[in-house]
Amino acid sequence: MNDISNPIISDFKINEDLVWQMSRAEKYSLIEILRSLKPEVSLEIGTYMGGSLQVLSKFSSSVYSIDISGEPEKFLKNTFKNVKFLKGKSKELINPTISKIIESNNKLEFILIDGDHSKNGVKNDLNEILKFKYKNPLTIILHDSFNPSCRRGIKSIDYKNFPNVEYIDLDYVSGSFSPNDDYREMWGGFCIIKINPESTKVAKVNSSQNELYKSSYLLSVHLLKDIFFFLKPLKRLVYNLLGIRKKQDVYFNFNK
Ligand SMILES: C[S@@+](CC[C@H](N)C(=O)[O-])C[C@H]1O[C@@H](n2cnc3c(N)ncnc32)[C@H](O)[C@@H]1O
């Protein structure tokens, strides 16, 4: 009824066995961005069931895909021959992975960030990526830039430290309100960050749909969650006592 992800009309043949946690608009955009860029090397943070990875794998010569869970590699290693799966926290793996790519004189031309969506998680991932000096243009897409925590992480970066960042838009693709079964939650959206080694000016953080973002936030559960943030430890305690699973648990065991 309320499916924002399907159907897709495209000559890109989607493998329906691979759950792809993106909206139709995001899927079309990711396919077209990668079809145009044809990256030499791509990096993905947040593999899950390989939905987005199928696009990176198709249009890149090689891909590194990082996930905190070991499930994706078990599930996908026979599907993608040009992908190296890395298991661990992104904040620990981004630096050695990008160092290795640059030292081998390969061009990292595309990054999809879709892992830890907390403010600090996004901030750490971005800081780790932006501190490198790239010799070639690099396109970064951050998924879920419409989610308040994720958006705060992107906005918390001090972009004046990174003059090679040429362009940023938090709403390159607009996000969604109450998508699928997530009642009054704000998810989705693509933020784009373009890195150009020639650029020397400090980039402005554009948010081309900020009015939509602000109106949605006032009606969202995120406003209440932010007001009652101090009760979070109590909620965790009650959930543990009642044996209620956290939403993120789905990423650690695909069979449950
Ligand atoms: C939203 S899913 C990725 C969806 C996928 N990109 C797609 O479009 O279908 C997020 C993934 O990030 C992983 N993840 C969460 N926190 C992480 C972290 N700190 N480091 C690496 N991976 C993380 C989760 O295990 C999960 O598989």
Q: What is the pLDDT of residues 183-204, one digit of tens each?
A: 999 999 999 999 999 999 999 9
Beta carbons of 47 and 65 less than 8 angstroms apart? yes
Which ligand 1 atom minimizes the distance to the CA of 112?
6
Is 63 in contact with 112 (CB distance < 8 Å)? Answer: no
The pLDDT value given to residue 1: 59
- Residue 232: pLDDT band (50, 70, 90) is confident
**Each residue's pLDDT tens digit, 92-111:** 999 999 999 999 999 999 99
pLDDT given for residue 198 in this prediction? 96
How does DSSP classify residue 208? T
Percentage with pLDDT > 70 across the chain: 99
- pLDDT computed for residue 255 by the predictor: 63
Confidence of residue 179 (pLDDT cuts 50, 70, 90): confident
Say which residue, 27 or 235, is predicted with more confidence: 27
Task: Give me the phi and psi of 84, to 5 degrees please.
Answer: -105, 120
Q: Is the peptide bond before 137 cis (omega within 30 degrees of 0)?
A: no
Total length of the chain:
256
How far is Cα 177 from Cα 134, in angstroms, rounded to an integer?
36
Dihedral angle computed from the Cα positions of residues 151, 154, 155 and 156, in that order, rounded to the nearest 10 degrees: 120
Which pLDDT does position 243 carry in this prediction?
A: 85
Measured from the Cα of 144, ligand 1's closest atom is: 1
User: What's the pLDDT band for 176 if we cut at 50, 70, 90?
Assistant: very high
pLDDT at res. 147: 98
- Average pLDDT over the chain, rounded to an integer: 95
Burial of 255 (0-12, 13-18, 19+ CB in 10 A): exposed
pLDDT value of position 70 = 95
Please state, in angstroms and rounded to a whole number, the distance separating the CA atoms of residues 251 and 256: 10
Distance 31 CA to ligand 1 centre (A): 19
Ranking 146-155, 172-181, 213-222, 242-251 by mean pLDDT, the lowest is: 242-251
**Which of 16, 65, 114 should be mutated for ligand 1, with most atoms under 8 A from CB?**
114
| 65 pocket-lining for ligand 1 (C-beta < 6 Å) | no
Q: Which long-range contacts (CB under 8 A, 24 or more apart) does 79-85 make?
A: 79/15, 79/18, 79/50, 79/54, 80/50, 80/53, 80/54, 82/57, 83/53, 83/56, 83/57, 85/47
Q: What whole-number distance in Å separates Cα of residue 185 and Cα of residue 104? A: 42
CA 202 to ligand 1 centroid distance, Å: 30
Q: Note whether 166 and 210 are within 8 A (CB).
A: no
CA distance linking residue 177 with residue 12, whole number of Å: 27
Residue nearest to atom 14 of ligand 1 (CA): 115
Q: Which residues contact 40 (CB under 8 A, 6 or more apart)?
A: 60, 61, 62, 106, 107, 108, 109
Return the CATH superfamily for domain 24-251: Vaccinia Virus protein VP39 (3.40.50.150)
pLDDT digits 0-9 by tens, 52-98 = 999 999 999 999 999 999 999 999 999 999 999 999 999 999 999 99
